[in-house]
Structure 1
């Protein structure tokens, strides 16, 4: 019985972490606005995950593997999205208009100015 308490705690912590992280990922995918994310932080997160693999791979299969797998997939996904959307912002030509997130900011700014 005592051996199962850490496994249950690990499983619950994995579920809580996944539930708390999914809205962030879904919003980033939906809005394509990752301007609030630090590229340095995303790179360090991925580097840390690669180093952490040495430890996790030495453990028996269990909740730690699930949490690590989820954390790794989140950090890789967020870095890829950050790089992709950052490149899209830099590539858009002046005649093509603003990328979607900037259009929303511009429309909101204009609406606020007109209402004032």
Structure 2
């Protein structure tokens, strides 16, 4: 039985990459705290993954399919969790008080980007 080194490397790297994302997913499920995530990043990641599907699934079945399917599912899951637990509240930019008692927007000399 001959082992294709490229397929073996792809399988090993798929397991490593998926394993590196699992702690983030587990923490998001456990804590429901997704305030540190960026909605823009999650939207761009999901959009890029969906467009990349055209390329990946034109390739022969292999480890890249598994890795890409994992990325599509994990980024979609994180976006759903973000919208469910943070919603559009993540877009609100409330002033934060800085040590001198002024708010951070005034201290920076600018207005908040979004006011609901």
Task: Return the TM-score normalized by structure 1.
Answer: 0.72
Deviations 1:41-85 (A, max 9, x none): 000000000110110111111001000000000000000000000
Q: Distance in 2 between matches of 1:89 and 1:43?
A: 16
Q: Which runs of 5+ in 2 are unaligned?
A: 91-116
Q: Distance in 2 between matches of 1:89 and 1:54?
A: 33
Relative to its length, the structure with more helix (as a share) is 1
Q: Distance in 2 between matches of 1:5 and 1:87?
A: 45
Alignment of 1:1-116 (within 5 A): 4-87=4-87
Q: Distance in 2 between matches of 1:10 and 1:73?
A: 19
Higher-RCO chain (CA-CA 8 Å, sequence separation at least 6): 1
Task: Return the TM-score normalized by structure 2.
Answer: 0.72
Cα RMSD (Å): 1.7
Q: Distance in 2 between matches of 1:87 and 1:13?
A: 33
Q: Which runs of 5+ in 1 are unaligned?
A: 91-116
